[in-house]
C-alpha cells in the first residue's frame, strides 16, 4: 500500500518536473532576447555568455534608430496593422450579421462563395495579386499591403456562427422603435457580438503584425518597409551585430504583448475555438 | 406581374436595400482581390513569355505543367524538402503537443493556467521575431546551443550551414512556436471528454493504459485529424521561417522549400507564368492530400 503511494507521488513529481522544464525551455528564448538587448557587443560575443547584462547598455537601441529608418517602419507597421484589423472587423461584423439575420435572394450562394476563399491560402495568389496591385499603381503603398486582406472569410464565418446563436428579439424591438438598419447594426448587433470580435481582433492583429511574404513582394522601398521586412533585412545584412538585430526584434514584440495582456483570458479560448494560426 | 416582383415577394424591400448596399461592394472587393487571382493564376499558367518576362505572351497550354513535373529537378528537390519538413511537423511536433496536452490535463487548474502562459508565449512573439532569436541561439560561435554543447564536451554544430541539419533546425523553431498552441487545442478536446466514461471504465476494472487506448485516443481522433490537416496545409506553405533564417535557400539548397522556389521563380527570375503553374501544382497536391487524410479519417471513425 505504502509502496504504491510512493510510486504515485514520484510519478506526479515527474509530471510536474517535465511540464515545468518544457515551459521554461519554451519561454527561455524570449527571456534570453530581452536580457541580451541590454548587453554590449563585446558582452554578446563573450564565451561563455553572461546571464544578466553587466551594464544597462542602450547603445543597441540608439544604433537601431540612427542606422535604419526603424521608427518609420514601426509607424508603417502600426498603420497597416490597425487599418487591416479595422477593415476586417467592419466587413466581418456587418457581413456576418447580414448572413445570420437577413433573408435575401442568393444568400446561400454568396455565403458559399465567401467560404470558398478559405480553401485557397494567400500564398497561392501572390503572383496574380502582385500583377493586379501593379496595374492599380499600388506598389509601395499602404493600400497595396491592405487590399487583399480587407475581407476575411473566416471572420465573416465566425461572426455569422456567433450571431446565429443569439435571439433576434433586440433587433426586432429596435426595428419597431424606428431605428435605421445601419443604426441597428451599429447600436444593437455590434455590442452583442463583442466576444466574437475580440477573438477576431487578436487573430488578425497578430497575423497583420507578423506578415512577411506579402509586404516583401509589394514593398520595395526602404521607407515603406514594415517591421518584419526590416528584421529580415537586418538579419540578411549579417549575423555579426546581434545587439542591433535583437533590439529591433524586442521592440517589435511590444504591440503584440499589449494585445496579449489586454485580452489574456480571451487568448487561450481563441486557440481552442478557432484552431487558426 | 413581372418576374422581378414575384421573385422578390416575401422579402422586406427596405431591408433588401440595406443588405445589397452593404454586401455588393464588399463582395465585389472580395471577388477582385480574393477570388479572381485564383482564376487569373490558372490563366497565366497556360502562357509563356521570353526570358526575364520580356516579349508577348504566347499560349502554350499545359507546357509549363509538363516542364515542372518532368523536366525541373529543382522543383522536385524543393518538393522533397517541403515533404520532409511537413512530415517532421505532422509526426514529432503533433505527438509532442499531444503529450504536453496530456500533462496539462492532469495538473491542478492554477498550475495549468500558469504553465499555459509560458507555453503560449511564442505565439505572441511571432514567427519573425522568433526566427531572429533563433538565429542568435544557432550562431556557431556565440550562440547558446553551441555554448551548451561545448560545456558538455560535445562538438559544435553548424545549425544553419550544415546541409543535413539545416531543415531540422528550422523545424525546431516551428516546434517552439506552435507547441503550446497545438497543445491547447488538444487540451480543449481532452477536457470535453465526459468524466463518466472514465468512471464507468474504472468500475469495469480498466487500468489507466486501457482507459487511454479505448477511451481517450478514439475520442481524440476528430480533433487530431483536424490538427493534422491544418498543420499539414500550414507547414506545406512554409516560407517566412526559411526566408528569415536561410534566405539563400540553405547550404546545397537544403532548405529550399516549394514556396521559396516559387518566390524566386516569380520575383527574382521573373518567370511569372511558370511560377503560376508551380503554384497550381502545389495547390493541387495540398488539396489531394487533404482529401486523402479526410477519407482515411472518416473510414477509421466507423467502429
CB contact under 8 A, A19 and B115: yes
The answer to whether A179 contacts chain B (CB < 8 Å) is no
Give contacts of A231 with chain B, Cβ < 8 Å. Answer: 128-129, 132, 244
Shortest distance between the Cα of B130 and any Cα of chain A, in A, equals 8
CA distance A26 to chain B (A): 6
B33 CB-near residues (< 8 Å, 6+ apart): A129, A132, A147, A148, A150, A151
CA distance A23 to B121: 10
Q: Residue A219: what pLDDT?
A: 96
Q: Check residue B1 and give its pLDDT.
A: 40
For residue B177, give the chain A residue with the closest CA.
A26
B145-B147-B151 Cα angle (round to 5): 120
Q: What is the pLDDT of residues B247-301, one digit of tens each?
A: 999 899 999 999 999 999 999 998 999 999 999 999 998 889 888 888 887 765 5
Scan for cell 475555438, then name that residue: A273
In this structure, of A78-87, A187-196, B21-30, B168-177, the range with the lowest mean pLDDT score is: A187-196
Instruction: State chain A's mean pLDDT as an integer.
Output: 88
pLDDT at B43: 95
Residue A140 contacts B, CB cutoff 8 Å? no
Cα–Cα–Cα angle for B281, B286, B292, rounded to 5 degrees: 125
Contact B141 A47 (CB under 8 A): yes
pLDDT at B78: 96
Beta carbons of A200 and A88 less than 8 angstroms apart: yes
In CATH, B71-301 is 1.10.3720.10: yes
What ranges do the domains of chain A cover? 2-36, 67-274
Q: How far is B129 from chain A (nearest CA, A)?
A: 5
Q: Is the pLDDT of residue A153 over 90?
A: yes
Q: Identify the closest residue of chain A to B16 by CA–CA distance.
A: A104
Portion 37-76 of A in contact with B at CB < 8 A: 44-49
- Please answer yes or no on whether A212 and B176 come within 8 Å at the CB atom: no
Domain ranges of chain B: 3-45, 71-301
ipTM value for the complex: 0.89
List chain B residues with CB under 8 Å of A119. Answer: 287
- Encode burial over A28-37: b for 16+ CB neighbours within 10 A, e otherwise: ebbebbebbb
Integer Cα distance of A215 and B217 in angstroms: 42
List per-residue pLDDT tens for chain B, 303 residues long: 444 444 555 788 888 999 999 999 999 999 999 999 999 999 999 999 876 666 778 899 999 999 999 999 999 999 999 999 999 999 999 999 999 999 999 998 899 989 998 998 899 899 999 999 999 999 998 889 999 999 899 999 999 999 999 999 999 999 999 999 999 999 989 998 888 888 899 898 888 888 888 888 988 988 898 899 889 989 999 999 999 999 999 899 999 999 999 999 999 998 999 999 999 999 998 889 888 888 887 765 543
- In this prediction, residue A108 carries a pLDDT of 93
Task: List Cα–Cα distances, B121 to A197, A203, A254, B150, in angstroms.
Answer: 22, 14, 13, 29
CA angle A56, A58, A59 (to 5 degrees): 125
Residues of A in contact with B34 (CB under 8 A): 117, 125, 148, 151, 153
What does CATH list as the number for A67-274? Answer: 1.10.3720.10
Q: Do A210 and B127 touch (CB under 8 A)?
A: yes
pLDDT at A273 over 90: no
Extract the C-alpha cell encoding B136: 542568435
**Is B142–A45 a contact, with Cβ atoms under 8 angstroms apart?**
yes
Greater pLDDT, A57 or B237: B237
On whether the CB atoms of residues A273 and B145 are closer than 8 A, the answer is no
- Contacts of residue A192, defined as CB under 8 A and 6 or more positions apart, other chains included, come to A163, A166, A170
pLDDT value of position A8 = 64
User: What does the pLDDT read at residue A267?
Assistant: 57
Q: Does A135 touch chain B (CB under 8 A)?
A: no
Between CA A235 and CA B135 the distance in angstroms is 8
User: B40 and A131 in contact by Cβ < 8 A?
Assistant: yes
User: Which residues on chain A are in Cβ contact (under 8 Å) with B124?
Assistant: 206, 253, 256-257, 259-260
Residue A109 pLDDT > 90 = yes
Task: Note the pTM of the prediction, 2 decimals.
Answer: 0.89
Amino acid at each position: 500500500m505504502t509502496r504504491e503511494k510512493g510510486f504515485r507521488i514520484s510519478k506526479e513529481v515527474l509530471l510536474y518536473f517535465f511540464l515545468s522544464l518544457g515551459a521554461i525551455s519554451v519561454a527561455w528564448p524570449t527571456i534570453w532576447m530581452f536580457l541580451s538587448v541590454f548587453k554590449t557587443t563585446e558582452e554578446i560575443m563573450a564565451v561563455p555568455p553572461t546571464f544578466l547584462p553587466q551594464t544597462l547598455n542602450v547603445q543597441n537601441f540608439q544604433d537601431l534608430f540612427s542606422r535604419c529608418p526603424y521608427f518609420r517602419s514601426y509607424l508603417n507597421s502600426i498603420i497597416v496593422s490597425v487599418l487591416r484589423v479595422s477593415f476586417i472587423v467592419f466587413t466581418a461584423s456587418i457581413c456576418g450579421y447580414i448572413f445570420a439575420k437577413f433573408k435575401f435572394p442568393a444568400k446561400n450562394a454568396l455565403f458559399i462563395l465567401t467560404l470558398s476563399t478559405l480553401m485557397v491560402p494567400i500564398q497561392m495568389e501572390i503572383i496574380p495579386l502582385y500583377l493586379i496591385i501593379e496595374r492599380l499603381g499600388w506598389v509601395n503603398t499602404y493600400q497595396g499591403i491592405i487590399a487583399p486582406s480587407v475581407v476575411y472569410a473566416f471572420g465573416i464565418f465566425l461572426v455569422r456562427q456567433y450571431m446565429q446563436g443569439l435571439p433576434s428579439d433586440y433587433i426586432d424591438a429596435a426595428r419597431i422603435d424606428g431605428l435605421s438598419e445601419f443604426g441597428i447594426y451599429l447600436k444593437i448587433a455590434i455590442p452583442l457580438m463583442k466576444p466574437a470580435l475580440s477573438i477576431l481582433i487578436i487573430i488578425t492583429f497578430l497575423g497583420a503584425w507578423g506578415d512577411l511574404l506579402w509586404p516583401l513582394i509589394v514593398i520595395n522601398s526602404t521607407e515603406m518597409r514594415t517591421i518584419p521586412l526590416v528584421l529580415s533585412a537586418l538579419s540578411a545584412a549579417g549575423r555579426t551585430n546581434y545587439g542591433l538585430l535583437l533590439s529591433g526584434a524586442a521592440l517589435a514584440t511590444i504591440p503584440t504583448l499589449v494585445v496579449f495582456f489586454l485580452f489574456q483570458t480571451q487568448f487561450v479560448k481563441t486557440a481552442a475555438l478557432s484552431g487558426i494560426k | 406581374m413581372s418576374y422581378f416582383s414575384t421573385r422578390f415577394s416575401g422579402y422586406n424591400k427596405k431591408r433588401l436595400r440595406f443588405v445589397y448596399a452593404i454586401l455588393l461592394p464588399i463582395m465585389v472587393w472580395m471577388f477582385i482581390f480574393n477570388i479572381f487571382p485564383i482564376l487569373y493564376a490558372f490563366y497565366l499558367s497556360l502562357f509563356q513569355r521570353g526570358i526575364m518576362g520580356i516579349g508577348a505572351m504566347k499560349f502554350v497550354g499545359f507546357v509549363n505543367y509538363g516542364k515542372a513535373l518532368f523536366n525541373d529537378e529543382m522543383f522536385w528537390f524543393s518538393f522533397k524538402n517541403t515533404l520532409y519538413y511537413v512530415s517532421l511537423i505532422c509526426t514529432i511536433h503533433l505527438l509532442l503537443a499531444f503529450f504536453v496536452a496530456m500533462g496539462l490535463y492532469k495538473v491542478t487548474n492554477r498550475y495549468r493556467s500558469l504553465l499555459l502562459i509560458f507555453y503560449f508565449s511564442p505565439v505572441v512573439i511571432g514567427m519573425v521575431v522568433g526566427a531572429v532569436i533563433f538565429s542568435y541561439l544557432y550562431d556557431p560561435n556565440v550562440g547558446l546551443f553551441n555554448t551548451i554543447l561545448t560545456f558538455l564536451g560535445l562538438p559544435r554544430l553548424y545549425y544553419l550551414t550544415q546541409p543535413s541539419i539545416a531543415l531540422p533546425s528550422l523545424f525546431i523553431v516551428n516546434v517552439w512556436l506552435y507547441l503550446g498552441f497545438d497543445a491547447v487545442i488538444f487540451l480543449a478536446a481532452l477536457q470535453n471528454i465526459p468524466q463518466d466514461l472514465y468512471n464507468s471504465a474504472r468500475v469495469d476494472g480498466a487500468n489507466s493504459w486501457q482507459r487511454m487506448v479505448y477511451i481517450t485516443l478514439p475520442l481524440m481522433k476528430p480533433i487530431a485529424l483536424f490538427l493534422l490537416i491544418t498543420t499539414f496545409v500550414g507547414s506545406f506553405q512554409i516560407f517566412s521561417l526559411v526566408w528569415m533564417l536561410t534566405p539563400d535557400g540553405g547550404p546545397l539548397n537544403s532548405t529550399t522549400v516549394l514556396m521559396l522556389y516559387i518566390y524566386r521563380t516569380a520575383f527574382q527570375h521573373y518567370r511569372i507564368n511558370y511560377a503560376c503553374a508551380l503554384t497550381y501544382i502545389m495547390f493541387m497536391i495540398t488539396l489531394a492530400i487533404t482529401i486523402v487524410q479526410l477519407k482515411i479519417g472518416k473510414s477509421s471513425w466507423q467502429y
